[in-house]
Amino acid sequence: MALLRQLAGLVLLLLLVLVPLTPASGAQPYELVVVEHLRLKVPEAGVDAWLAAERGSWEPWLAQQPGFLDRQLLWDAEREEGTLLIHWASREQWMAIPSTQVQAVQQRFEALARQASGLSQGNPFPLIFEGELAPL
């Protein structure tokens, strides 16, 4: 079963690399400049709560940010991790976002995540990796 999951993950990775990226809205394809890459600890029992918190916080906020193109939310069942790939038109636009705004959205995300997961404190889905990817 673990081998099957690894094979499925490899197929998904190949599809992400080989299939040209297009916005989810069906608009014209865009040229990818930089991808923000995040991984969160998301237990199987918390996937729905994670997605609900994302929809109520990061999703609407990102849609209003200059340079934001698209994002993908993926879940690795074996590692119980969520992966976010956030596509930006330029690194400069991404980095120009004030950290105070990011912190405010993160606080909203955590409050929604606690509410959806039934926890009373802390972040139910802690960040375990943060990086960036650039196309070749």
Q: Residue 16 above 90 pLDDT?
A: no
Confidence band of 136 (pLDDT split at 50, 70, 90):
confident
The DSSP secondary structure of 66-108, one letter per residue, reads TTEEEEEEEEETTTTEEEEEEEES-HHHHHTS-HHHHHHHHHH
Which residue in this structure is represented by tokens 């038109």? 89
Q: Residue 23 above 60 pLDDT?
A: no
Question: Residue 29: what pLDDT?
Answer: 62
Q: Residue 78 above 60 pLDDT?
A: yes
Question: Residue 32: what pLDDT?
Answer: 66
CA dist 34 → 104, 130, 131 (Å): 23, 14, 11
pTM: 0.77
Q: Residue 1 above 50 pLDDT?
A: no
pLDDT digits (tens, 9 = 90+) for 35-55: 999 999 999 999 999 999 999
Asked if CATH classification 3.10.20.600 holds for the domain at 30-133, the reply, yes or no, is no
Q: Where are the domains of the chain?
A: 30-133
